[in-house]
Structure 1
Amino acid sequence: MEADLSGFNIDAPRWDQCTFLGRVKHFFNVTDPRTVLVPEWELDWAKVMVEKSRMGTVPPGTRVEQLLYAKKLYDSAFHPDTGDKMNVIGRMSFQVPGGMIITGFMLQFYRTIPAVIFWQWVNQSFNALVNYTNRNAASPTSVRQMAVSYVTATTAAVATAVGMNTLTKRAPPLVGRWVPFAAVAAANCVNIPMMRQQELIQGICVKDRNHNEIGHSRRAAAIGITQVVISRITMAAPGMILLPVVMERLEKLRCMKRIRVLHAPLQVLLSGCFLIFMVPVACGLFPQKCELPVSYLEPELQDTIKAKYGEPVPYVYFNKGL
């Protein structure tokens, strides 16, 4: 017996996006690292199925489960604004495999200056690609802006790491292990705003509840980007703060002293254990579709809204990106 798909809306969220738990469930689904291994032809099939579902031309015999799976693949691999396929490394579903390798090695090789510089450079290259891939596509970023963002964030991360390494040489060993997190947090505060500076300059598109474009707001962009920065730092914090404590104790064990070659792989594995939970949790901290009181907007945009609608409009909405 075929399922009745007449009332099925493929763009309707499966879980309540107004609640933190609902958003976490959504991102557990979307950031599933297994989707990175899905072949290109299957991703293309998912896009076709999503588009057909939107037009109401789903092939006979299609089940709801198939459409939900197609939507999962579509959300994990295609940009929400443009519908274009994103590069694999920049997808949020690649945060676990990519992040665990980089984080594990940053935490392992933190003692020498060359190692610190190299792994901070690798991390910021990865972050720059992720930030560009998940940007708000309505605000294009030039090659020059991307280059400036990349160089600035990398310099900030390296300077923070090298400077704090120098200052903490006489501090307890555990303090030195926390230096990579300080560098990552500092770089995120630079990398994300710089990569998305066009949104801060020109404003981000805000819409009414019926998805009609109202205008562009710089204040909305600042709020959205701030939330993204907080999410990224939260994503890294548990692993980069707690894992050094764990490794500090483990490395004192006699058996661990005999297998030093396995310390780095162990840190990579443990980093992955943290990230597999923290990626969806951090992405779900704030709603993707942000609701902002009109009173927070620029005065000229408030006047435009009053003139256009002729009645009080309490909220506007915008997509903050990831």
Structure 2
Amino acid sequence: MSDLVRDQRVLPDISKPKWDQSTYEGRARHFFASANPLTLFASHRRQEEARQIVVDYKNGKFPANLTVKQLWDAKILYDSTFHPDSGEKMFVIGRMSAQMPGNMVTTGFLLGLYRTTGGALFSHWFNQSFNAIVNYTNRSGNNHATNERLLVSYCCATGGAMAAALTLNKMVKNAHGLAARLVPFVAIALANAINIPMMRSNEITDGIELTDADGNLVAKSRSLAILSIAQVTLSRIAMATPYMVATPIIMNRITRTAFYKSRPLMQKYSEIPLQSLLAGAMLFFTTPLCCALFPQKSSIEVSKLEPEIQQKIRENSKNPPNIVYYNKGL
């Protein structure tokens, strides 16, 4: 059979990801594609071409020479570049495809500068600034937090991470041992538990958007917002665990070798680059695998929603849906 879209018996459904999102394998394959850091290098022209292909296809139009592969390649680039709900181009640093290179740099700072007070403060400020951009960029729905709320969230997360890092550093007596190297992980886990809920606190107060099968907004749910934020927080902590725990263990072993100890220049300059490379290798896998822990776009039966939400859907819809959909965010 021809690979041209026009020759397909059943046209590809790009309203959904290429792979089955009801299975972990399908979600993992989707995020390996959409979180691929190579998509960051796509030109503005290529991004706009992908957007145009996707938008036109959804409206029933496509060029006669468009192949199935070209269609899915455009959809994957579109998913990695544009927000799934608003359709706006996401800030490049905030895209999930920037997680690997961005966290490589922040991990190098976190694990290489943890010994001094100034280094710990700078590295956690840098990390939380990066996380704040990612969290805001990938917030669910079209909810927009006020500038004041965003500033408070950022300050609380940054302050919490700094306080945890400094306090734990004082508690750990062996400043060069493995326990001290694990302090940054504990600090960023705490910061994630603060930052993500606060950054998206407007969803807790206003609710997360619920849509019908056609994408029409039918209601907002506070309970699902809480569940979604908890899932995102868990995913982020799980994403950080391998490289923030395994990297210090590996580095601790390296620093104890005679080869390392006999080379002063290596001791002075290699720690941040080595740990960045180790973290990057792990991030290539942990980013998509942990993003896939929970479906990004989920469905729920209306009967399982809060009673007042069920009533609102019945009252405001001519044909009330039995199932609604929501985007938990990343």
TM range (shorter): over 0.9
Q: Secondary structure at the match of 2:94?
A: coil
Q: Which residue pairs with 2:224 in the alignment?
A: 220
- Distance change (3 Å), C-alpha of 1:262 and 1:319: same
Is 1:51 the counterpart of 2:55 in the alignment? yes
Structure 2 CA distance for partners of 1:42 and 1:306, relative to 1, 3 Å: closer
Q: Map 1:114-133; keep pairs closer than 5 Å.
A: 114-133=118-137
Aligned counterparts, 1:254-265, within 5 A: 254-257=258-261, 258=263, 259-260=266-267, 261-265=269-273
- Contact 1:2/1:61 (8 A) holds in 2: no
Answer yes or no: is 1:64 the counterpart of 2:68.
Answer: yes
Flag structure 1 segments of 5+ consecutive residues without an equivalent: none
* Aligned-partner SS, 2:93: coil
Deviation at 1:301, TM superposition (A): 1.4
Give the equivalent residue in structure 2 for 1:321. 329
Q: Is the 8 A contact 1:219 1:296 kept in 2?
A: no
Change in CA separation of 1:136 and 1:244 when aligned onto 2, cut-off 3 Å: same
1:198 aligns with 2:199: no
8 Å CA contact 1:141–1:195 kept in 2: the answer is yes
| 2:103 matched residue in structure 1 | 99
Tell me whether 1:3 sits opposite 2:17 in the alignment: no
Aligned pairs for 1:166-315 (under 5 A) are 166-170=170-174, 173-209=177-213, 211-257=215-261, 258=263, 259-260=266-267, 261-294=269-302, 296-305=304-313, 315=323
Report deviation, 1:161: 0.7
Q: Which amino acid aligns with 2:293?
A: L
Deviation readout 1:54-106 (Å, 9 max, x if unpaired): 12221221111111111111111111111111111000000000101111221
Q: Secondary structure at the match of 2:210?
A: strand
- Which residue identity lines up with residue 55 of structure 1 in the other structure? N
**CA shift for structure 1 position 142:** 1.0
Matched residue type, 1:286: F
- Of the three residues 83, 90, 94, the one matched with 2:94 is 90
CA contact (8 A) 1:138 1:204 kept: no
Aligned counterparts, 1:138-153, within 5 A? 138-153=142-157
Question: Unpaired segments of 5 or more residues in structure 2?
Answer: none
1:308 deviation in Å? 6.1
C-alpha separation in 1, matches of 2:316 and 2:256: 68
Contact 2:218 2:317 in 1 (8 A): no
Q: Give the SS at the match of 2:256.
A: coil
Distance 1:296 1:156 in 2: 36
Aligned Cα root-mean-square deviation (Å): 2.1
Matched positions, count: 322
1:290 Cα shift? 2.0
Amino acid at match of 2:130: F
TM-score, scaled relative to structure 1: 0.94
Q: What is the CA-CA distance between 1:310 and the residue it aligns to?
A: 10
1:321 maps to a residue whose letter is G
